[in-house]
């Protein structure tokens, strides 16, 4: 019987771009997801980050609020959502692209070094998708402006043609004979 191959340390088990969330207008990775990618327990990742706090300013790493944490859990798979009556014990931290790279530098696992390349590529790929969408939206706006100009021209032509399309009023008919 063929057993499924375990993910090698140089290839992530899950697509990284599916783990990237948008929180507070920034693309981020949850600490648990980053720890899994780097092959360390979440607790160890957060300990290493705390020991090197000067390397993680607020634009590299920040802690979620209760609402953000619940929203992040709800947006993930059904197995990640909390069961009724459970609470989030610790509010998770999230890492921006730069924070994820910095986390790889403070961890000593070989997975962290190799996976940091994948993390960087995932953020770059996501940025390229956003730029591609921006280009498409700009082009659509240009087309829309052109169509609006044509629409105005068509409206003027329609207004000029409209009187020609309506039949002239019928001439008054005269009745033959004597009228009183």
Q: Kindly state the percentage of the chain with pLDDT values over 70.
A: 78
User: Picking from 74-83, 153-162, 163-172, which range would have the lowest pLDDT averaged per residue?
Assistant: 74-83
Is residue 14 very low, low, confident or very high in pLDDT (cuts 50, 70, 90)?
A: low
57-73 burial code (b ≥16 CB/10 A, e <16): eeebbbebeeebbeebb
DSSP character at residue 75: T
Is residue 155 very low, low, confident or very high in pLDDT (cuts 50, 70, 90)?
A: confident
Is residue 75 very low, low, confident or very high in pLDDT (cuts 50, 70, 90)?
A: low
Q: Which of 152, 162, 35, 41 is nearest to 95 (CA)?
A: 35
What is the pLDDT at residue 61? 92
Q: How far is residue 96's CA from residue 107's CA, in Å, rounded to a whole number?
A: 16
Summary mean pLDDT of the chain? 76
Mean pLDDT along residues 133-145: 76
Is residue 171 very low, low, confident or very high in pLDDT (cuts 50, 70, 90)?
A: confident
Q: Which tens digits make up the pLDDT trace of 87-137? A: 567 788 999 888 888 888 888 777 776 776 777 777 778 778 777 777 777
What is the pLDDT at residue 162? 74
């Amino acid at each position: 019987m063929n057993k499924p191959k375990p993910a090698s340390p140089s290839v992530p088990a899950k697509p990284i771009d599916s783990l990237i969330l948008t929180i507070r207008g920034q693309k981020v990775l949850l600490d648990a997801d980053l720890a899994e990618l780097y092959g360390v327990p979440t607790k160890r990742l957060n300990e290493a980050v705390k020991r090197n706090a000067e390397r993680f300013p607020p634009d590299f790493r920040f802690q979620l609020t209760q609402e953000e944490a619940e929203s992040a859990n709800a947006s993930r798979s059904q197995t990640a959502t909390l069961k009724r009556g459970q609470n989030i014990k610790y509010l998770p931290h999230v890492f921006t692209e730069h924070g994820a790279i910095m986390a790889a530098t403070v961890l000593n696992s070989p997975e962290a070094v190799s996976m940091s390349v994948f993390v960087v590529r995932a953020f770059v790929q996501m940025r390229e998708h956003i730029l591609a969408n921006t280009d498409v939206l700009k082009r659509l706006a240009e087309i829309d402006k052109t169509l609006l100009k044509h629409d105005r021209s068509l409206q003027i032509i329609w207004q000029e043609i409209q009187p020609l399309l309506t039949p002239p009023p019928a001439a008054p008919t005269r009745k033959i004979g004597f009228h009183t």
